[in-house]
A and B are shown apart, each in its own frame.
Chain A
């Protein structure tokens, strides 16, 4: 082995890397907030919502969970313009992340809702709360708390999966690594750096999610 490691390019290309990191962070921030929100709505529909809406949501969830993320992304970016919906690379990437996490998180959140003891609904009813008020104020927080570790893992999975948005030239971290590699021919170094950054981002994301959980769940509500 006489491969010479060479990281000098870092100085030249660090703006690309920083931009890539920023876009990856932006993708996961929007994906997590909007995706989990969508997941909550879908979970509510499937667990407690109106009967007519259940099959609609079920179809969406199954469609997303049984097709590759890359195809979903291509469909949104290359397919939707035929219907008159033209999105930028970044918009398409964001939408794909939200739609994807929305489906996966709805299944996780639904499990949390369904583990709610019947007595919680009855206590809410007996206090004259409407079904929606019960969901919003009684059921939701303990349900999220029950599944927060699983949901956090899913968010990390989707963050790592966001690498494929480079395929539609959304300029995320992977796009930057590809770009640098094609300019410098330093594949090992370029992907080593991006690997390290993804690893760091994943660890950071777990910390952040843990902290969010600590803020919104003051108490062990699972039982």
Chain B
């Protein structure tokens, strides 16, 4: 049994079918890069896995638990799967430490001292233990994104979904965030990431998924997908002829 099983997933917004039958099984510890043109449904797929969108058809399960659209099931799923967003989405009224502590205390009812200990550990993991008391608006974009990663990690998820997490960053800040992700991958975290960082995908990922018009158009290990694209759409996307 795979860690994440996505079976015949369809998703429509009104008459617009955005996901047209996605099948994808992710094994524990896999790092999967999702690439494709803007509008091909990459974000929607991640959002469905985390229950931010309800799927129109098909099924998704994470570690054997079915994704169902009721509060108890959603909560169970979201405790297993963390998500990092392009825009960081830190809580502006809380410090970095407060951001990492909040959901532990609210959702898991972790006592404050333990939540704080965990927060310090997670901030250290992303190299920001010295920023525990800083507010988001005192941090650079790269630092904010690393806090967001620490915040997701503090819930001890078994997989992380990353939606273009370096796209909103100035070029010189991309590397520090990717370094954190690279480390997570090395530690065996299961990762599904939508990314435009092809070098990173090639170096770190176990498989690359090329999405096109709501379908998985090509899938395979990075050496194959990048070196030997099969379809004209992927060739065009990669700029090889």
Contacts and interface: CB of A to CB of B under 8 A. Distances in A.
B91 A123 contact: yes
A123 B89 contact: yes
A130 B75 contact: yes
A169 interface: no
A126 B93 contact: no
A142 B90 CA distance: 12
Nearest 6 CB-CB pairings of A with B: A123-B89, A127-B103, A126-B83, A221-B93, A119-B89, A128-B78
Nearest to B107: A128
B226 interface: no
B198 interface: no
B106 A137 contact: yes
* B: interface residue count bin: 20 to 34
Given A126-B52, A129-B103, A221 B92 contact: yes
B93 A145 contact: yes
Contacts of A117: 87, 89
Contact of B75 (A128, A137, A141, A217): A128
A69 B102 CA distance: 42
A117 to B, nearest CB: 8
Nearest to A131: B71
Contacts of B91: 120, 123, 138, 142
Output the residue of A120, A138, A222 with the most chain B CB within 10 A. Answer: A138
A6 interface: no
A145 B49 CA distance: 33
A222 B91 CA distance: 10
Interface of B: 50-52, 71, 74-75, 78-79, 82-83, 85, 87, 89-93, 102-103, 106-107, 135, 137, 148, 151-152, 155
Contact of A129 (B52, B89, B106, B137): B106
Nearest to B102: A137
Contact of A119 (B75, B78, B87): B87
Interface string A57-69: 0000000000000
B52 A128 contact: no
A204 to B, nearest CB: 27
A122 B91 CA distance: 11
A141 B93 CA distance: 7
10 contacts: A119-B89, A122-B52, A124-B103, A125-B51, A127-B102, A129-B106, A130-B71, A142-B91, A219-B92, A222-B92
A219 B107 CA distance: 24
Interface string A189-223: 00000000000000000000000000001111111
A221 B137 CA distance: 9
Nearest to B135: A219
Given A119-B89, A138-B91, A220-B92, A126 B71 contact: no
B87 A126 contact: no
A2 B82 CA distance: 81
B92 A122 contact: no
Contact of A133 (B52, B87, B93, B106): B106
A127 B92 contact: no
Nearest to B138: A219
Contact of A128 (B79, B85, B87, B148): B79
A126 B162 CA distance: 12
Given A119-B85, A219-B135, A126 B92 contact: no
Given A120-B91, A219-B137, A126 B102 contact: no
Given A130-B71, A137-B106, A223-B137, A122 B85 contact: yes
B92 A223 contact: yes
A93 to B, nearest CB: 35
A27 to B, nearest CB: 31
Nearest to A223: B92
A112 to B, nearest CB: 13
B151 A127 contact: yes
